[in-house]
């Protein structure tokens, strides 16, 4: 890319910005196409192995939207126990306390 910052007017800088934006858009488009090919190949391999991806457990998207994995909720800024993990832990703790209270009363 030509360095136009030192001897260009505002119009040239606007053109340079547009070129950068188009280059970025092309890169994003290329990566999206590559990702689609990888997904398609993954589905073919899974089909050949007589396996399938669970429709509600399979997510391909932006990390910033967040996802649950191995009992944790993750996004681009957070790593926390998932709400499902917290719910199950609460149920187990409640069951243990009830069992202990029942034995203590008897």
* Parallel, antiparallel or unpaired: strands 79-81 and 67-69: unpaired
Whether residues 85 and 41 share a domain: the answer is no
Whether residues 11 and 50 share a domain: the answer is yes
pLDDT at site 4: 47
Q: Using one digit for the tens of pLDDT, what is the confidence trace for 71-97? A: 999 988 889 999 999 999 999 999 999
pLDDT at site 96: 93
Total number of domains constituting the chain: 2
Whether residues 2 and 46 share a domain: the answer is yes
pLDDT at site 91: 95
**Residue 88, domain extent:** 67-106
Whether residues 4 and 52 share a domain: the answer is yes
3-state helix, strand, coil in the chain (%, to 5): 60, 10, 30
Whether residues 30 and 74 share a domain: the answer is no
Whether residues 3 and 51 share a domain: the answer is yes
Confidence bin at 68 (pLDDT 50/70/90): confident
Whether residues 48 and 92 share a domain: the answer is no
Q: Using one digit for the tens of pLDDT, what is the confidence trace for 6-44? A: 555 555 555 455 545 555 556 665 677 788 888 888 888
pTM, two decimals, is 0.45
């Amino acid at each position: 890319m030509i360095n136009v910052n030192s001897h260009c007017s505002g119009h040239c800088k606007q053109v340079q910005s547009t070129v950068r934006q188009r280059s970025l858009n092309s890169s994003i488009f290329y990566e999206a196409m590559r990702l689609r090919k990888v997904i398609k190949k993954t589905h073919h391999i899974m089909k050949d192995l007589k396996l399938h991806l669970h429709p509600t457990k399979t997510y391909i998207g932006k990390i910033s939207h967040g996802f649950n994995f191995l009992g944790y909720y993750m996004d681009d800024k957070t790593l926390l126990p998932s709400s499902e993990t917290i719910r199950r832990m609460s149920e187990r703790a409640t069951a243990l306390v009830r069992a202990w209270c029942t034995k203590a009363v008897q």
